[in-house]
């Protein structure tokens, strides 16, 4: 049964309001492409109202700014409890709007609770220093919230992305205006209601659904916004970096996806490496920023590995996301499906060997067969571009040195992995590969405690980890002149 959709309006000052233009946009169920709700379409006027509310809530005298840090922690902890209470419903809503399989959405909801608890716990743990400055002075630093933060979300893991940006910003004492992705606004709105229920004061969290060029761009150009945190495409990341300097100097955190290499050495445990490599690119229908979309396999095991990888992909059960036995759901929207199918055609045309899949499934919803290409060359489009679909590209290599250089020959640098039983190979690869996260005999494991972000064009800054609140804090130095003689 379809989950109830309770919230479809704009959330400002803990109130639900229509778009000032009165406009709405349709949101869909990717399983069959049906319209499931009409959502208020925010634009510049709504962003202005949301930023004004966030600015008022950030005033030094506001309830939020006057709250003790420990009370901020407890409020966010209370929100974690509400998330846990509603986790099943939120998972259903996430699956309904994004198309991810329900079992995955449930894991995500569980992660959302854990990440929230971790970020909340940091609210009263950040502190400045006392500094042995030169001269007859006493110097110390304060860490203070940066101000109103614009949080622009992607659609591939909407709920977890909301949590990973909003909760650190709030723990730091900031106020936020969230712009969910146009494909998946529903869980963000539901989380707004839960934050209000947890006691977050009016204006601290505002949520404006809408499109990138309208609501998104207005947020990135707003003079009263001090910080933008964005997850999405490299293309829009670069636009946001420019926008962030256009009217004031916004701090930015960008997470822009990748073309992550996963390396399988001759000495790897194939029984583990094959399923890991499969899940690393087919999970969430391949719509994952850290997808292992370049799979480098060493020549000694290449033929055997390719055979087993094809068997793994063929056995993936694709279908209705609510069926607990389904392993791969639909792509989230039509453009994403068409983009991936376009890359599959390029893969064939450029001479890669199609072993499995390669086609759309049916003509309802946005399903693509799990697809495996072997004998892929580094310069083929399927080896250079982020596909964001269920497409495994297998490339052959001979030596560790060679594969490190080939892995690094890209503008992306989000993640990388290696399967090997040789400690030296593991350490050398981890040292020299250009990526923000490296997994050894593992892939995709993320924890709230470990910093996450990209090298090179995969992004700017880090999220998660003990220091993640720094992205939402300014350091202030206070220097006090001391009497020269006592």
Q: Which residues are within 8 A (CB) of 453 and not within 5 positions of it... i.e. 6 or more apart? A: 253, 255, 414, 436, 459, 460, 461, 462, 463
Nearer to ligand NAI by C-beta: 74 or 239? Answer: 239
Nearer to ligand NAI by C-beta: 33 or 81? Answer: 33
Q: How many residues does the chain have?
A: 486
- Binding of residue 177 to ligand NAI (CB under 6 A): no
Q: Which residue has the tokens 């194939």?
A: 270
User: Which amino acids are annotated catalytic?
Assistant: 255, 289
Give the residue, chosen from 43, 46, 255, 369, that forms a contact with ligand NAI under the rule CB under 6 A.
Answer: 255
- Binding of residue 257 to ligand NAI (CB under 6 A): yes
Give the residue, chosen from 144, 233, 338, 428, that forms a contact with ligand NAI under the rule CB under 6 A.
Answer: 233
- Bridge partners, 360 (sequence order): 368
**Stretch binding ligand NAI (CB under 6 A), from 230-238, 318-326, 347-355, 477-485:** 230-238
Q: Angle at the Cα of 243 (from 238 to 247), degrees rounded to 5? A: 160
Distance CA 255, CA 21 (A): 31
What's the Rg (C-alpha) of the chain? 23
Give the residue, chosen from 13, 182, 369, 434, that forms a contact with ligand NAI under the rule CB under 6 A.
Answer: 182
Q: How far is the CB of 98 from ligand NAI (least distance, A)?
A: 11
Q: Give Cα separations from 90 to 29, 84, 94, 148 (angstroms).
A: 15, 9, 6, 27
Give the residue, chosen from 53, 166, 256, 310, that forms a contact with ligand NAI under the rule CB under 6 A.
Answer: 256
**Stretch binding ligand NAI (CB under 6 A), from 19-27, 84-92, 226-234, 246-254:** 226-234
Helix (H) or strand (E) holding 102: helix 102-121
Distance CA 456, CA 193 (A): 37
Give the residue, chosen from 226, 336, 425, 437, that forms a contact with ligand NAI under the rule CB under 6 A.
Answer: 336
**Stretch binding ligand NAI (CB under 6 A), from 207-215, 314-322, 375-383, 473-481:** 207-215
Nearer to ligand NAI by C-beta: 154 or 321? Answer: 154
> What three-state secondary structure class fits 51?
helix
Q: Which residue has the tokens 């400055």?
A: 133
Q: Which of residues 273-312 bind ligand NAI (CB under 6 A)?
A: 289
- Binding of residue 232 to ligand NAI (CB under 6 A): yes
C-beta separation of 192 from 176 below 8 A:
no
Give the residue, chosen from 76, 82, 90, 153, that forms a contact with ligand NAI under the rule CB under 6 A.
Answer: 153
Q: Give Cα separations from 61 to 56, 93, 454 (angstroms).
A: 9, 37, 37
State the residues that interact with ligand NAI by CB under 6 A.
Answer: 152-156, 179, 181-182, 211-213, 216-217, 220, 231-233, 236, 239-240, 255-257, 289, 336, 339, 386, 388
């Amino acid at each position: 049964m379809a989950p109830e959709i309770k919230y479809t309006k704009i959330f400002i000052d803990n109130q639900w309001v229509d778009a000032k233009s009165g406009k709405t946009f349709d949101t869909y169920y990717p399983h069959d492409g049906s319209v499931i709700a009409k959502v208020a379409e925010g634009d510049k006027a709504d962003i202005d109202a949301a930023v004004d509310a966030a600015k008022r809530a950030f005033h030094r005298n506001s309830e939020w700014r006057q709250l003790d840090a420990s009370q901020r922690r407890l409020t966010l902890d209370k929100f974690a409890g509400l998330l846990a209470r509603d986790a099943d419903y939120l998972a259903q809503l996430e699956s309904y709007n994004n198309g991810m399989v329900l079992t995955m959405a449930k894991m995500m909801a569980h992660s959302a609770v854990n990440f929230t608890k971790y970020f909340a716990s940091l609210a009263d743990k950040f502190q400045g220093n006392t500094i042995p400055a030169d001269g007859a002075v006493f110097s110390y630093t304060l860490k203070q919230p940066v101000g109103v933060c614009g949080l622009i979300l992607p659609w591939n893991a909407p709920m977890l992305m909301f949590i990973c940006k909003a909760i650190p910003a709030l723990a730091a004492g900031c106020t936020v205006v969230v712009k969910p992705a146009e494909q998946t606004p529903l869980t963000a709105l539901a989380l707004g209601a839960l934050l209000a229920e947890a006691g977050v004061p009016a204006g601290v969290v505002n949520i404006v659904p809408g499109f990138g060029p309208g609501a998104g761009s207005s947020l990135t150009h707003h003079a009263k916004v001090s910080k933008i945190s964005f997850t999405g495409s490299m293309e829009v990341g670069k636009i946001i970096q420019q926008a962030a300097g256009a009217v004031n100097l916004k701090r930015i955190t960008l997470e822009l996806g990748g073309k992550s290499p996963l390396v399988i050495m001759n000495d790897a445990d194939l029984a583990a490496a094959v399923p890991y490599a499969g899940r690393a690119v087919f999970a969430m229908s391949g719509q994952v920023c850290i997808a292992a979309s370049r799979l480098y396999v060493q020549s000694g095991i290449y033929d055997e590995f390719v055979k087993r990888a094809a068997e793994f992909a063929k056995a993936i059960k694709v279908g209705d996301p609510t069926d607990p036995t389904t392993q791969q759901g639909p792509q989230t929207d039509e453009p994403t499906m068409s983009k991936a199918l376009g890359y599959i055609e390029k893969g064939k045309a450029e001479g890669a060997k199609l072993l499995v899949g390669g086609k759309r499934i049916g003509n309802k919803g946005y399903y693509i067969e799990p697809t495996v290409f072997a004998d892929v060359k580094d310069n083929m489009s399927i080896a250079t571009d982020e596909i964001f679909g269920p497409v495994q590209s297998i490339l052959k290599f001979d030596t560790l040195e060679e594969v490190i250089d080939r892995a690094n020959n890209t503008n992306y640098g989000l993640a990388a992995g290696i399967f090997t039983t040789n400690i030296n190979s593991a350490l050398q690869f981890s040292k020299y590969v250009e990526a923000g996260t490296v997994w050894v005999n593992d892939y995709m494991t993320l924890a709230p405690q470990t910093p996450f972000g990209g090298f090179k064009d995969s992004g700017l800054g880090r999220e998660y980890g003990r220091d993640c609140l720094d992205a939402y804090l300014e350091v202030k130095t206070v220097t006090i002149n001391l009497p020269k003689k006592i």
